[in-house]
Amino acid sequence: MYGKNCCRKAVCGTGNHDVGINYTQHFNVPNLSTLGSNAAGGDSWCSRLPGATKIVGQWPIQRIIFYYLMLAATCLLIKNRTKKSGNRDGNRNTNILLRKFLIVLIGSVVLLLVLRPVKSNHLMAGLDVGQGDGIYVRLGEDTNLFLDGGSTDVSKVGTYRILPFLKSNGITKIDYWFISHYDEDHVNGLLEVLETEYSVENIILPGKQPDVKNYQSICALAERRNIPIVYMKEGDCIRSGEDTISCLLPDGEYQAEDENGKSMILLYQTKYISGIFTGDAGEAEENWLLEKQRLWKVDFLKVGHHGSKYSSTEKFLKALSPELALISCGENNRYGHPGEEALCNIKESGSAVYETMECGRIRIRMENGEPVVEKFLEGR
C-alpha cells in the first residue's frame, strides 16, 4: 500500500477537480448506534467480553422494530414456558417452547451477526471537537481514515465526540489513523480511543520524536494493542481503488522552525473530490510547497492552524483555489482563531468558509453521484 511510485502517480495525475459542490443544511438526530454498550466507549467489564458490543450504525426504523419484536417474542416464550411447567403435559409443552425459543434465538443471532452495519455515505466529516482537529475521511469504497483527533477545551473528546460519531455511522474500524503532529489538541482524543477496544488497524505518524510525551504515549498504547506504526514522508501514499491520500510534507529536506511546522500535510484525491489537509502548518510551510511546486487546484482545504493569522497566505490560496475551506476551532477560544487576516484571504479567494464553531460538524457526502456539503448547526 505504501511506496514512492504511488504518490508520484497521484501528484502527476490530473485528478478530478471539476466536480461542483452543493451546499445544504442538515440537523443531526441521535440514533441507535451500538448494541450491548453505551455509544461512547462501553468501558464496563462486561462490554469488553467477546461479542458483547456490536457497532451497527444508524439502523432504519424497520430494522429497529424487527429487533425489538424478536426480543419481545423471546420474553413471551420464556414467560409461557414458566406458566406451563406444572401441567401434566409439561415435558411436551416444554419441548415445543424450547424449539420456538431456539428459533427466536437463532433469528436474533442472525440479525446481529449476519446483517451488516448501515454503511455511511460520508466522503469526509470535520467533527466539532472544539479547539482542536478531528476529521473522518473515506478512501475508496471501504477504507476508513481519521486525521488527528484532539481538543484543548472539550473534555474526553475521544469518548464523547469521536467514538459516538464513528459508531453512529456504522464505522467499525479505522484502517489508518493519521497524526499531523503531537500537540495535545491533535492527539488526546486518539489516546482515549486507544484505551478502548475500538479497532485501529494502523497509526500513521510524521516522524519520531522520542522526547515528546504524546509521541511516547501513542507508541506505548500502540505496542500494547499490537497496532503497527508507520512513519510517512513525501512520496508515500495510501491507495484504495482509484483514490489516494499522499504525503507532501515532511520531505526529509525541510527544517521546521517549531512544532506546528512539523505537521504532516496530506493530499486527498478521489474521482469525486480532492483536497489538502494541513495540520497546523503555517506560512513557511505553505511557501515551501509553493517553491517545490507541489500544489495545484483542489476542491477543499482544511485550513492550517485553525485559521491562525500565520497561515492561509494569498499566494497559497491562489495556487489551490478551493471551493470550500474548513476551519476547525472552538467557540470563544483564547487564541482568537480564526484570524481576521486569514478569513479575509480565504473569502477573497472565492472559497466558501465553514467553521466548526459556527456550523458544528461539517460533512461531505454523496447524493445522486454528486458531493454535497452539509452543516449540522445553523449558527450560534
- Decide if pLDDT at 8 tops 60: no
Label residue 265 by pLDDT band (50, 70, 90): very high
- The three cell numbers of residue 92 are 411436551
The kind and range of the H/E element at 235 are none
Between CA 354 and CA 25 the distance in angstroms is 12
70 and 10, same structural domain? no
**Residue 365 φ/ψ, nearest 5 degrees:** -130, 170
Domain boundary among 74, 92, 113: 113
Distances (CA, A) of 330 to 150, 154, 380: 12, 9, 12
- Decide if pLDDT at 371 tops 90: no
137 and 67, same structural domain? no
Buried b (16+ CB within 10 A) or exposed e, 355-379: bbbbbbbbbbbeeeeebbbbbbbee
Q: What pLDDT, on the 0 to 100 scale, is given for residue 366?
A: 81
Could you give the number of structural domains in the chain?
A: 2
- Decide if pLDDT at 83 tops 60: no
Domain span including residue 79: 61-113
Please name the amino acid found at residue 295: L
Domain boundary among 72, 98, 113: 113
Q: What pLDDT, on the 0 to 100 scale, is given for residue 41?
A: 44
230 and 143, same structural domain? yes
Label residue 33 by pLDDT band (50, 70, 90): low
89 and 217, same structural domain? no
Beta-carbon contacts of 361 under 8 Å, excluding residues fewer than 6 positions away, are 28, 125, 126, 127, 128, 165, 375, 376
Label residue 369 by pLDDT band (50, 70, 90): confident
First CA to last CA distance, the chain:
43
The pLDDT mean for the chain works out to 82
Q: What pLDDT, on the 0 to 100 scale, is given for residue 305?
A: 97
